[in-house]
Amino acid sequence: MSQSARDLILAHLPGFPAIHAGRLYTDTSEFMAIDYGDVIAVGGRNYLVHKNESERRFGLEDPKYWVKKCQCLETGERNILKLVFHEQFPMAIGNFTVRCYRSPQKEARILRLVKGDMRFMQGETYPDERGNPVRVLEVVVGRSLDNEVEAVDLPHEAYFHEVFPGMLEKFLGTCEALSFLHENFEQHGDVRRDHIFVEYATGDWRWIDFDYSFEFHENPFGLDLFGLGNILLFLAGQGVHTMQSCGLTGSDLTATDCSALFPNRLVNLRRLFPYVPKKLNDILARFSGGAEVFYDSAAEFIADLADCRDRLPAQHKEHQP
């Protein structure tokens, strides 16, 4: 047990059980060793580790051992500290293969770029004593977009007419935020519905998690654009609809009916919900396995989506989520 970590905790947080005081870390390279009760010293401040962050995917809790939920001992503020973790993997999009990888340096650049822009999470980056870029993030007090949609207790037709138009308006704002990154030659890298948080206090939608990057030679922002298509599909469908959940088989469908990224996921929502406007369905079809033309830019996607919004009946646009 490190006496200095214990002393720091007792001086700033005397109510914390001293028996759980751990070690003081100035080098975060071995992030798996850093756990509850340890203190990370970086950027002139000390952060007490409470737990590892996790995210829920496919019904399972996926721990992220390099992401720590912390409390700043000097200020009492809750922060998330992202430590350096490198990984890479391939992703298939139709006939293309995309190399995906984590880049802490890229996330640090984006945090500088979006400082003060509340469409994005906020934070600062500080080197530890080994030069590892530790990102100290402000906590976005809210819930992820998938939880926001799943909390709506309405049948789809009522949801689509009463709630979706307001969601679409908010979504356009997040698309414009993503376009801002692209205009500055940066990718988000991991565009997913659980990487948009809806802030409780304001209702604002904010992007989080920028540390993934990718190499897609056909379009340097292509994977971000496919991510936007997946989010739009989730919003319009009030969830994910697969062949299995809809009782369909491959013989019932064509490539244009299903997602290029997830071949068992329906993008042709009019097969399930005939009241979905054709214009919206056509936008979703651009992300299907049978698409012959894909979106080249977020700006192009936004223009089509804004036109789709403007075609919604006026009385529907009055409803807000």
Q: What is the arithmetic mean of pLDDT over 113-141?
A: 98
What pLDDT does residue 129 have?
96
pLDDT per position as a tens digit, 251-292: 778 888 999 888 889 999 999 999 999 999 999 999 998 888
pLDDT band at 319 (very low <50, low <70, confident <90, very high): very low
Q: What is the arithmetic mean of pLDDT over 21-37?
A: 96
CA distances from 171 to 193, 243, 310 (A): 10, 26, 14
DSSP states of 190-217: ---GGGEEEETTT--EEE----EEEE-T
Neighbours of 130 (CB within 10 A): 10
What pLDDT does residue 321 have?
43
Q: Is the CB of residue 260 less than 8 Å from the CB of residue 174?
A: no
Q: Is the CB of residue 38 less than 8 Å from the CB of residue 130?
A: no
Average pLDDT of the chain to the nearest whole number: 91
DSSP 2: -
pLDDT band at 317 (very low <50, low <70, confident <90, very high): very low
Integer Cα distance of 53 and 81 in angstroms:
9
Per the structure block, which two tokens stand in for 9? Answer: 């905790």
What pLDDT does residue 211 have?
93
Residue 196's nearest CA partner among 262, 138, 147, 123 is 147
pLDDT per position as a tens digit, 152-205: 999 999 999 999 999 999 999 999 999 999 999 999 999 999 999 999 999 999
Strands 133-138 and 78-82: antiparallel
DSSP states of 36-58: TT-EEEETTEEEEEEEEEEEEET
Q: Which domains does the chain have, with CATH numbers?
A: 3-83 (2.30.30), 142-317 (1.10.510.10)
Per the structure block, which two tokens stand in for 282? Answer: 């056509």
Per the structure block, which two tokens stand in for 95? Answer: 């006939």
DSSP 257: G
Q: What is the arithmetic mean of pLDDT over 40-68?
A: 87
List strands edge to edge, sheet with 212-215.
88-93, 96-102, 212-215
What pLDDT does residue 218 have?
79
Name the H helices within 278-320. 278-285, 298-310, 314-317
Residue 186's nearest CA partner among 107, 70, 296, 121 is 107
pLDDT per position as a tens digit, 236-251: 999 999 888 887 777 7
Residue with tokens 């304001």, as numbered in its chain: 202
Q: What is the arithmetic mean of pLDDT over 44-59?
A: 85
